[in-house]
Structure 1
Amino acid sequence: MKQYLAIDIGASSGRHIVGRAENGKFVTEEVYRFPNGNKSQGGHLIWDTEELLSHVKKGIAEAVKKCGRIDSFSIDTWAVDYVLMHGDKEIFPCYAYRDGRTERAIAEVHGTVPFETLYEKTGIQFQPFNTVYQLYADKLSGRLNEADGFLMLPEYLLYKLTGKRSCEYTNATSTGLVNAKTHAFDADIVSALGLPERLFEKRISQPGKTVGPLKAEIAAEVGCDMTAVLCATHDTASAVLAAPVACDFSSPYISSGTWSLLGVEQERAHTDADSMRENFSNEGGPRFTFRWQKNIMGLWILQSARRELGLDFAAAEALARANVCGALVDCNDEIFLAPESMCAAVREKAGDLTDGQLLYCIYASLADCYKRALRAMEEKLGKKFGTLNVIGGGSRDKLLNELTARAAGVKVMAGPAEATALGNLMVQMIAGGEIKDIGEGREMIGNTFPLRTFE
């Protein structure tokens, strides 16, 4: 019986989950979990890639120790961040997307290629940390002078384990440099911005492609040889693969974690002015599909406030339930991206709230953002949504699910919570010949993980 390892790394934690297909269902076991977060260095926020790689290897070794032979593995992370390369050497640091280094770059990029043109070509919404702005900031600082390539973070970790470079489609689209029609890096944008063409010579691959075996020394270190496979390396793309309800290009989802990604799968990108005005994104999915979605600041706001108040999840929810109030904030306001005090940022926008009211305000504001995004999608597509599949860690949040169902007037179907790891495993199982296609994989997930309903 084949066994697969999903390494799912989020901005706040990572986990290693071993899975196999058995009697038409997924059987999974979490074998390793580790904390993650930005580090401060020289006034910037960075990722400690050496520490990440160490945890990745420790988790692989733990998977082998607990479960025996692993046939293949794959890695997914958040999007947009990358490591610059010069030959086989890294050009550090690996900046974190919450770092504020792109302000000048954004103005210069849009002065050269108007955002309307970027959106028409790529379909990627404006966010100040999009890879296109980060790379341009690297150009301004001179960091690109020696670079001959760059690897998105999951592909960088795979490279360190296998020695093979790759460029996976779903994550490549998050750069804001991939043409939505040709599915390749847009040469006109690259040229206009003066980015070195040598950075974009990699062939973009679809999920399911084999990367290669572990390096011999890595295999010896972890106790087993295994093959690396490209999953949908952008974690949201993997998560949406595991959404049981999102199977007919008409049922919306929320991938609910540090970010809330609310959208619907589409067979083509919407790159028109209305979609741009609503700041919807068209992120690539397997088989050149698109996730037409709105990126909402998400549970980051709630997580930050909880930490600041010293409350665990249950205590924060209970306090919010006991302090219902009518205050709302725009969760997409950039003030919430990386404030010194999240509570102070919320109070600046919502007024003088008690701690309980502040927490309820965050919950209600997230639900309100979801409602507004759904209404804009309904208007654009000319249809009314009846259900909303909430996947990821936020699917466990009863209060948020209740408020979302009430605000949006939809039936909320919650689960699975570990959607990203399941989507990662699904692609490996398809590549391994154990699952026919995505539809069969979603059916298996629905049979394995019953959904909870909120109306």
Structure 2
Amino acid sequence: MQKCHLAVDIGASSGRVIAGFMEDEKLQLDVIHRFPNEMKKKNGHLIWDIDFLFNEIKKGIQLSTKKYKPITIGIDTWAVDFVLLDKDYHRLTDAIAYRDHRTDGMMEKVFERIPKETIYAETGIQFQPFNTLYQLAALKEETPEVFEQANYFLMIPDYLNFLLTGKISNEYTNATTTQLLGASSKDWLNEVLQSLDVPKHLFSTPTEPLSSLGEITAELKEEFGTSIEVILPGTHDTASAVAAVPSLDTIYISSGTWSLMGVELDKPITSHKAFSYNFTNEGGINHSIRFLKNIMGLWMIQQVRKEWDNKYSFAEFVDLAYEKEDFPSIVDVNSEQFLSPSNMIEEIQAYCKNSNQPIPVEPGEVAACIFNSLVEDYCNTAKQIEELTNREYSTIHVIGGGSQNNYLNEKLAEKSGKTIYTGPTEATAIGNIIAQMVATGEISSFEESKSVIQRSFEIHKFK
């Protein structure tokens, strides 16, 4: 039976269990199991059904054993969200979702205790209202008693890994997104935690990607009929996705619900200019810094599609945008009003009205407004990257599901003047599996993995 590595890749709307293995010197992928993921209302908050997610992971593993012999497994998810466990490893909190409104106004309250500039100088992390820092502050304000019982802080993939192995760990790439970790020290920051009155003992020393957490629990071995080693990829999905960028020395965009746009560096940039541009310095898999900016991404068109009762596919929205490509209105895609609105279309229309621009009404106008606004932001961000790194980049490489949007690709090439490369679409799962292969020695290095990716997957060019 073919040996394989399993990538569990869970995003904000869906999850997959994907088998990966080498055949004829190419990386082969086989999607074993797909499952939905959505925020649910509970006790007045938006939460993730983390027990459901773990059961779906187990289903995917079980299905994989009918076809392959899985030898390792790695989990990646979105960032910032977390749970707290007590001393007996029982979960004390729900996995409250980052789009929940509990953090409204919380950044300003935190800045009263510790200056914004100090936070950035220490962490190098972009200010977003849903960062773990502000979620913890909100939890402390709403239910302070939970901290009297709490013993362990685990981010979502950390908790899923705990359920697989019984081992407590805080994986490094995801830990960097919390705005609680030193960009240079790579340790939890006492000053920031003390400002929240959150005990540091909740946090374990960050564990580097490629580390092994050991085998799955005895109960799971019996359930699956096999032993599987749990390897840490970049458990933050963007860290795994960036590991799958096939180009070197390029600006990248990991394009999905969010657009993560940046470059890989050896050291963080925490200058006042980087602070003013709101760039982030997140940990990479290969001892790198992912110097990037979070841009709203395709979340806006995803919500618009729902509000039109899924009448149009994403491909149809692209076609409709071409028909209205000259529609002139541009919105700030990073405005907080688009983060979790009750009605995305009305919010876009209100923005255009308030800024004295034509109001998009038809589906093609709304789609063109969103896509053109994204391109505008991508181009501005590319200029900021070049200014902050003091170098020019001739290419932008787009990976992830959004790389299939040729309207965005063509307009970006046209407006930026750069060569745009796109693919692979399954970048996050590929980066996850690549990490497992490097950890086990099947691929000698991440440098070699670039060649593997280039010969295994289609890469397209726009100029």
Matched, 1:321 2:350: no
Deviation (angstroms), 1:356? 1.3
2:379 & 2:262 partners in 1: Cα distance? 12
Inter-partner Cα distance in structure 2 for 1:8 and 1:400: 25
Give the match for residue 356 of structure 2: none
The match for 2:263 is: 264
Instruction: Name the residue aligned to 1:173.
Output: 176
Q: How does 1:6-405 map to 2 (within 5 A)?
A: 6-67=7-68, 69-87=69-87, 88-141=89-142, 142=144, 143-200=146-203, 202-245=204-247, 247=248, 250-309=249-308, 310-324=311-325, 325-351=327-353, 352-353=359-360, 354-405=362-413
- Residues 85/129 of structure 1: CA separation in 2 closer, same or farther (3 Å cut): same
- The more displaced of 356-365 and 403-412 is 403-412
CA distance in 2, matches of 1:444, 1:267: 23
How big is the shift at 1:215? 1.2
C-alpha deviation, 1:221, in angstroms:
2.2
Q: Would you say the 8 A contact 2:188–2:200 is kept in 1?
A: no
In structure 1, give the amino acid aligned to 2:189: D
SS at match of 2:324: coil
Q: CA deviation at 1:253?
A: 0.1
| AA aligned opposite 1:139 | K
Decide which moves more: 343-352 or 99-108: 99-108
Q: Give the number of aligned pairs.
A: 450
Q: Shift of the alpha carbon at 1:2?
A: 3.8
* More displaced 10-residue stretch of structure 1: 175-184 or 377-386: 377-386
What's the CA shift for 1:112?
Answer: 0.9
Mapped to 2, the partners of 1:103 and 1:180 lie a distance apart of: 26
Query: More displaced, 439-448 or 222-231?
Result: 222-231
- 1:41-98 deviations in Å (ceiling 9; x for gaps): 122110111111111111111111222x100001000000011111210012110000
Residues 170-226 of structure 1, C-alpha deviation per residue, up to 9 Å, x if partnerless? 0000010110111111122222332112212x1211111001211122222233221
For residues 446 and 287 of structure 2, what CA distance do their matches in structure 1 show?
Answer: 13
Q: Distance in 1 between matches of 2:237 and 2:126?
A: 17
Greater Cα offset, 189-198 or 153-162? 189-198
SS in 2 for 1:315: helix
Aligned partner of 1:293: which letter? Answer: L
Could you list the per-position Cα deviations for residues 115-155 of structure 1 after superposition, in whole angstroms to 9, with x for gaps in the alignment? 10000000001000100111111211213221111111001
Is the counterpart of residue 435 in structure 1 residue 443 in structure 2? yes
Aligned-pair CA distance for 1:40: 1.0
CA shift, 1:400, in A, is: 1.2
Q: How far apart, in 2, do the equivalents of 1:21 and 1:444 lie? A: 9
For residues 223 and 276 of structure 1, the distance between their equivalents in structure 2, rounded to whole angstroms, comes to 51
When normalised by structure 2's length, the TM-score is: 0.95
8 A Cα contact 2:317 2:363, kept in partner: no
C-alpha separation in 2, matches of 1:9 and 1:281: 22
Specify the SS of the correspondent of 2:84: strand
Asked if structure 2 preserves the Cα contact closer than 8 Å seen for 1:32 and 1:62, the reply is: yes
Residues of 2 paired with 1:223 and 1:14: CA distance? 24
Distance across 2 between alignment mates of 1:204 and 1:380: 28
**Equivalent AA in structure 2 for residue 114 of structure 1:** P
The change in CA–CA distance for 1:343 and 1:223 in structure 2 (over 3 A counts) is farther
| Paired amino acid for 1:270 | I
Counterpart contact for 1:139–1:145, Cα < 8 Å: no
Structure-2 separation of matches of 1:223 and 1:394: 38
Mapped to 2, the partners of 1:2 and 1:127 lie a distance apart of 41
* Residue type of the alignment partner of 1:23: D
Alpha-carbon deviation of 1:424? Answer: 0.4
SS of corresponding position for 2:421: strand
Secondary structure of the structure 1 residue equivalent to 2:147: coil
Contact 1:281 1:294 in 2 (8 A): yes
Counterparts of 2:29 and 2:343, CA distance in 1: 38
- Whether contact under 8 Å (1:31, 1:66) holds in the other structure is no
2:306 and 2:423 map into 1 onto residues whose CA distance is 25
Residue number in structure 2 paired with 1:422: 430
Contact 1:211 1:227 in 2 (8 A): yes
2: distance between equivalents of 1:230 and 1:347?
43
Say which SS state the counterpart of residue 292 (structure 1) adopts: strand
Unpaired stretches in structure 2, ≥5 consecutive residues:
354-358
RMSD: 1.2
Q: Which stretches in structure 1 are left out of the alignment for 5+ residues?
A: none
The 3-state SS of whatever aligns with 1:58 is helix
TM-score normalized with structure 1 length? 0.97
Partners of 2:237 and 2:115 in 1: CA distance: 29
Hey, what's the Cα distance between the residues in 2 that align with 1:356 and 1:108?
41
1:10-35 per-residue CA deviation (whole Å, 9 max, x = no partner) reads: 00011111011233321111111111
Task: Say which SS state the counterpart of residue 430 (structure 1) adopts.
Answer: helix
2:456 alignment counterpart:
448
Q: Which shifted more, 274-283 or 41-50?
A: 41-50
1:90-115, Cα deviation, whole Å (9 max, x unpaired): 01211000001113432221111111
Q: Check the 8 A contact 1:138/1:144 in 2, yes or no.
A: no
